[in-house]
A = this chain, B = another copy of it.
Amino acid sequence: CNFSLICNQATIKLPSCKIFFSHDPIKIVRARGQYMYDEKGQRYLDCINNVAHVGHSHPDVVRAGAQQMELLNTNSRFLHDNLVLYAQRLQATLPDKLSVCYFVNSGSEANDLALRLAWQYTGHKDVITLNNAYHGHVSSLIDISPYKFHQLSDAEQNQFVHVAPSPDVYRGKYRADHPDPATAYADDVKDIINKAHEKGGKIAAFIAESLQSCGGQVIPPSGYFQKVAEHVRQAGGVFIADEVQVGFGRVGTHFWAFQLQGEDFVPDIVTMGKPIGNGHPMSCVVTTREVAEAFMSSGMEYFNTFGGNPVSCAIGLAVLDVIEKEDLQGNALRVGSYLTELLEKQREKHPLVGDIRWINTEKHRHKTENYNMHAPRSIYILKEQHILLSADGPHRNVLKFKPPLCFTKEDADLVVEKIDRILTGTTLDSEENGHQHHNGLLHGRESGGQVLQTKCLKT
C-alpha cells in the first residue's frame, strides 16, 4: 500500500488504499515472468498484474534500465537520443496522424495533460465521460471519474462534466437484442451535447477507455467510437482514447485497443501508462500536430522534470523490443483465445457464469440478472490455491484476468481447473440450499473473465 502511517513506536496501515487480500495480505518478495513468490518461497500464479506487462523482472528490461542509470539519468532539458528513438518507435505503432509525443510519469499525469491539450485546442471547457469510468487520481480526473466521485458521500458533480451511459450491451441501457446498440449509445452522447449547448456549454472532449476496465470490462459495440467522434468533433471537441490499462498488445489482434473499432477510427489524443515501462513510473500522451501546435501557441511551455528521461526511455524501448522479439501480442491472442474457450465451457457447465468477454467473442445468450455479490470471496479461495485473481465492475461480480503477457496455455488450464472446482462446489452448495447462493463462494450470471485483456486494481 502506498499509504503508511508511522507512529513513534509502530507502523500502522491505514485503509485509505486497499491492498489485495486485505484480510490476509501476501508479502511478495520476488517475482519472475508470470510468477510471484512470498517470503516463504511459495509460488503464486499472477493473473492480476498488467503492469509487469512482459513478465516480472524481465532481464532485458532490467538490464536496459540498469545500464542507462549507470550512464546518465537527467531531466529532459538536454538533447538525448533515447527520447527521439523511443518517440519514433511509439509513433510507428500508431496511425500517422498521431505524431507528437509528450512523455510524463503516470497515467494520471497523461490524462490530465490530455485534458489540458483539449481545453487549449478547442477553447471549450466541457468534458463528456462514461458512467463507471476511472481515469486517474489527480483532482481534475476525479472530476471525470464516476467510479471515484460516486464513492464520495457528498459527491458534487463538476458542472463542466457530463456522464454518458456506459456502452455495455450485456447489462446496460441497450443490449444485445437491440438492433443497433452502437448508434443508440452514440445518440445518447449527441443528446448530452445538445443539452450542454442549450445551457451554454461547449464540448472540449469526450474521453473513454478503449475498453472500460474498472467499469466492468465493457467492450463497446463496433462502430460506437466512430459515431461518438463524429458528434463530438461536430461540436468542436476532441476524442481522447485512454489506453492506460488496455494498450500495448494486450488485446492480441491489435497493438492498441481503440484499433478494435476499425481502421477508420483515429482518436485525437491517446494516453498510455501502466504497462509502458513494465513497472517503471512513466507514461505518454500522443496527439496530432494541430493539437500540439495549439497547445504551444498558448505561450505556456510544458515541462516535466522526470518525463522522458534517458532511463525511462531506455526501459520503454526495451519493453517494445521484448513484445516484438517474444511475439507477446501473438501470445496474448493465442492464449487469450484458448482461455476464452475454456471459460466458455465453464459458462455452459455452470449456470452462475453469465458472460465471457474477450475481444473476439460476442456471446451474450444469458441475460439473467441473478448475480450475487460474492465474487470477491472467490478470489480468496483461489489465493489459498496460489492463484492471484481480482474482482471488479460496479457490482464487483466480474472476475478479471490481466496477467503478464507471457501467460501460457498451461497456466490457463491450471486456473480454469481451480475455478471449475469452486463453481462445482458452489453449485452443489446452492442446490443443497434451494438455489440460494448464500455460501459466498462465487459470483453469479455475468461474472466470468475478460481474458488477457485489461486490468484494474481499484476495486
Chain A residues in the interface with B (C-beta under 8 A): 1-8, 11, 14-20, 25-31, 36, 49, 51-52, 56-57, 59, 61-62, 65-66, 69-81, 83-84, 87-88, 91, 96, 99-109, 112-113, 115-116, 137-140, 142, 148-149, 151-153, 273-274, 278-282, 289, 292-293, 295-296, 298-309, 311-312, 457-458
Q: Is the Cβ of A30 less than 8 Å from the Cβ of B71? A: yes
Q: Is the Cβ of B49 less than 8 Å from the Cβ of A83? A: no
Question: Quick one: closest B residue to A104, CB to CB?
Answer: B2
Q: Please indicate the chain B residues that have their CB under 8 angstroms from the CB of A8 in the complex.
A: 96
Q: Is the Cβ of A103 less than 8 Å from the Cβ of B139? A: no
A307 to B273, CA, bound (A): 13
For this complex, 21 residue pairs linking A to B, each with C-beta atoms less than 8 Å apart, are: A2-B103, A2-B307, A4-B308, A15-B296, A16-B292, A16-B301, A17-B304, A19-B78, A20-B77, A27-B81, A28-B78, A30-B71, A30-B72, A51-B305, A57-B71, A75-B279, A105-B281, A106-B109, A108-B138, A137-B303, A139-B139
Q: Is the Cβ of B18 less than 8 Å from the Cβ of A303? A: yes
Question: Quick one: closest B residue to A27, CB to CB?
Answer: B79
Q: Is the Cβ of B137 less than 8 Å from the Cβ of A140? A: no
Q: Is the Cβ of A137 less than 8 Å from the Cβ of B30? A: no
Question: Quick one: closest B residue to A22, CB to CB?
Answer: B77
Q: Is the Cβ of A138 less than 8 Å from the Cβ of B109? A: yes
Instruction: From known contacts A66-B66, A140-B138, infer whether A28 and B80 are also in contact, taking CB-CB under 8 Å.
Output: yes
Q: Please indicate the chain B residues that have their CB under 8 angstroms from the CB of A51 in the complex.
A: 74-75, 305-306
A56 to B73, CA, bound (A): 7
Instruction: From known contacts A87-B11, A106-B105, infer whether A62 and B69 are also in contact, taking CB-CB under 8 Å.
Output: yes
Q: Please indicate the chain B residues that have their CB under 8 angstroms from the CB of A25 in the complex.
A: 78-79
Q: Please indicate the chain B residues that have their CB under 8 angstroms from the CB of A36 in the complex.
A: 72, 74
Instruction: From known contacts A279-B306, A281-B312, A311-B279, infer whether A4 and B74 are also in contact, taking CB-CB under 8 Å.
Output: no
A75 to B81, CA, bound (A): 29
Instruction: From known contacts A57-B69, A84-B11, A299-B153, infer whether A101 and B457 are also in contact, taking CB-CB under 8 Å.
Output: no
Which of B30, B73, B300 is the one whose CB lies under 8 Å from A57?
B73
Q: Please indicate the chain B residues that have their CB under 8 angstroms from the CB of A16 in the complex.
A: 292, 295-296, 301-302
Q: Please indicate the chain B residues that have their CB under 8 angstroms from the CB of A69 in the complex.
A: 57, 61-62, 65-66
